Structure 1
């Protein structure tokens, strides 16, 4: 049995080396153009932490028309008016003007689970401050970055000397991305050991041997030439890459800790440890090799659980659509009766 741990030691410094502002300056030439906004006000954090989904006053590009007859709209406006970020609004508008369109993230997490709140033809594409805010407010993923306990979960921290952490808003230039060319790469002790397809759809062209060889050759060369010598943190990390259409080059999308919080996708971390201990000089590539692959998407929207009330998900478990429909109608009727 190997003496190697499945995961490296998780320290505050190790985890902080993966927040966006820590790695982007070194890798900006091979990444997506981005702007980091920090510090952020405590009020902005309180807005992200607050209950409900609403837009701060003044963040819309076009002023909303008043609807005095609509009490619900008035209530929402009153809530929005309790938060206002004119300086941040202006900064976001300037960046949108420079980039054309943007998509946001915080130190570690992006609100990709909330992409459904914007048009599906251009997921995560923000053209106003309100788009940015509503994406962040609708996301479960970004809650990780709002809690210092979540950020340093699994670390052995000194209670008398808590790690320093400052929330940051990252605005990245928006591009339409071909998900079939996204890959997640796993590096252990300074060695590239595994590469996984990120999107869980079946792509026929990815099953061609020559295509797989091209992906392997390009990503190994990209890592050796562009990343290996510039990464100055602990030598266990995960990075995401978008390859060019001809599969000859790549762009870094993100870096992630080699830790349980990072999805190993088509691997398990136990399998990655086995690959590492085998000592192969070539990383193992894993792709969705069949429409019947166990994790292949079945035409269901990603993160669909974010699009339904929790009660609906609980009721739907193990039931066909007719049973679920009847139960859900009954649940709604019961709720209405309780309110009477």
Structure 2
């Protein structure tokens, strides 16, 4: 009989375990089954400083067409005469990085950026809703990253390795990377998250918690479970390197017969269990382990699928925008009064591109 510790909610974690999930660690192994991507590193100290800087502004030269300052010469002079004026912002320019981003845009036609672990999905409002997160210039990439709360996680090593002991020096190997992925118009209704514990595929969850009728057809559910299990067995299980506790996000093709790996995430509290709880997954893991103890060979476990089965499901998003609780940075609220989201996003973009001053200064 396994010990009680064998059925803990989470596996043990370390800095080396967390580093398995930064993009550069897994993409080279699974690139054939993922979205075309380019990893840019090393990144300069100045670029990291720029991402950490207050307010949202784009570096000089990062737009496809030059932008004239919204300030007149007289206004500039007035600002320089005021010794207490905090509006003088350090200006940044990254011509080499701009060129690498432009090269990727030429190669992929459009890109979607992320850092080592996190993507700026919470900042999708900053670009046109008809093509969310689609970047066609370095400025678009920078605006997404600067407008996102999610990517700030990757800038703080204490947050990256939260919950880990620092008994090893693995954390010192952490190096910020910019990832540019080929942009597609993705149907989020076909995304799932899968949970693997000790090399057992335990659960599959619909990732977008809106209600989709097709998810509730029995034939469709059987097809999805079979397709995921087959894909995992053939393409992931034997190729995953390191501790065998992880989650992976998967995007199905339209016919739901195959798909692409979107991301891997650690099996730990910071990864959203979506329609499961980690207690649920622990119970599934325990049942699978006990079944293994009573069989001479490892049984073929059928992973549990959970979907939003009704428009009134308690976890259903009810068609609300994803990440709506942190879509707009606090400073941007000054610009939003009395405007719909399209008008606001356009005004916000103009304020960011037109001046290196913060939007709150412009609003005032």
Aligned pair partner of 1:33 in 32, 36, 40: 36
Query: What per-residue deviation string (whole Å, max 9, x for no partner) do you get for residues 31-81 of structure 1?
Result: 000000000000000000000000110000011134444959x98xx8676
State whether structure 2 residue 344 is matched by structure 1 residue 302.
Answer: no
State whether structure 2 residue 38 is matched by structure 1 residue 65.
Answer: no
Q: Which runs of 5+ in 2 are unaligned?
A: 80-86, 292-300, 334-363
SS in 2 for 1:163: helix
Q: What CA distance in whole angstroms lies between the structure 2 residues aligned with 1:114 and 1:84?
A: 22
Q: Which runs of 5+ in 1 are unaligned?
A: 314-339
Aligned-residue offset at 1:301: 1.8
Other-structure match for 1:111: 120
CA 180–6 in structure 1, closer or farther in 2 if over 3 Å, else same: same
CA 276–159 in structure 1, closer or farther in 2 if over 3 Å, else same: closer
CA 202–60 in structure 1, closer or farther in 2 if over 3 Å, else same: same
Aligned-residue offset at 1:121: 1.1
**TM-score when normalising by structure 2:** 0.81
State whether structure 2 residue 73 is matched by structure 1 residue 49.
Answer: no
State whether structure 2 residue 138 is matched by structure 1 residue 129.
Answer: yes
Matched-pair contact (CA < 8 Å) for 1:54–1:80 = no
Other-structure match for 2:11: 8
CA 309–56 in structure 1, closer or farther in 2 if over 3 Å, else same: closer
Matched-pair contact (CA < 8 Å) for 1:54–1:79 = no
Other-structure match for 2:313: 293
SS in 1 for 2:68: coil
Query: What per-residue deviation string (whole Å, max 9, x for no partner) do you get for residues 298-326 of structure 1?
Result: 3322222224566999xxxxxxxxxxxxx
State whether structure 2 residue 240 is matched by structure 1 residue 240.
Answer: no
Q: After superposition, where does 1:163-312 map in structure 2 within 5 Å?
A: 163-279=172-288, 281-308=301-328
CA 85–232 in structure 1, closer or farther in 2 if over 3 Å, else same: same
CA 185–243 in structure 1, closer or farther in 2 if over 3 Å, else same: same
SS in 1 for 2:129: coil
Other-structure match for 1:98: 107
CA 127–81 in structure 1, closer or farther in 2 if over 3 Å, else same: farther
What RMSD over aligned residues (CA atoms) do the two structures have, in Å? 2.4
Aligned-residue offset at 1:164: 1.8
Matched-pair contact (CA < 8 Å) for 1:12–1:163 = no
Matched-pair contact (CA < 8 Å) for 2:115–2:178 = yes
Q: After superposition, where does 1:82-93 map in structure 2 within 5 Å?
A: 82-93=91-102
Q: What CA distance in whole angstroms lies between the structure 1 residues aligned with 2:169 and 2:255?
A: 53
CA 309–166 in structure 1, closer or farther in 2 if over 3 Å, else same: closer
Matched-pair contact (CA < 8 Å) for 1:55–1:80 = no
Count of residue correspondences: 311
Q: Which stretches of structure 1, 4 residues or longer, exceed 2 Å deviation after superposition? A: 65-72, 78-81, 158-163, 305-313
Matched-pair contact (CA < 8 Å) for 2:161–2:171 = no
Query: What per-residue deviation string (whole Å, max 9, x for no partner) do you get for residues 99-158 of structure 1?
Result: 000000000000001111111111110000000000000000011100111111111113
Matched-pair contact (CA < 8 Å) for 2:23–2:116 = yes
Q: What CA distance in whole angstroms lies between the structure 1 residues aligned with 2:224 and 2:169?
A: 48
Q: What CA distance in whole angstroms lies between the structure 2 residues aligned with 1:5 and 1:25?
A: 31
Query: What per-residue deviation string (whole Å, max 9, x for no partner) do you get for residues 275-308 of structure 1?
Result: 1111171000000100001111233222222245
Query: What per-residue deviation string (whole Å, max 9, x for no partner) do you get for residues 156-196 of structure 1?
Result: 11388853210000000000001111000000100100000
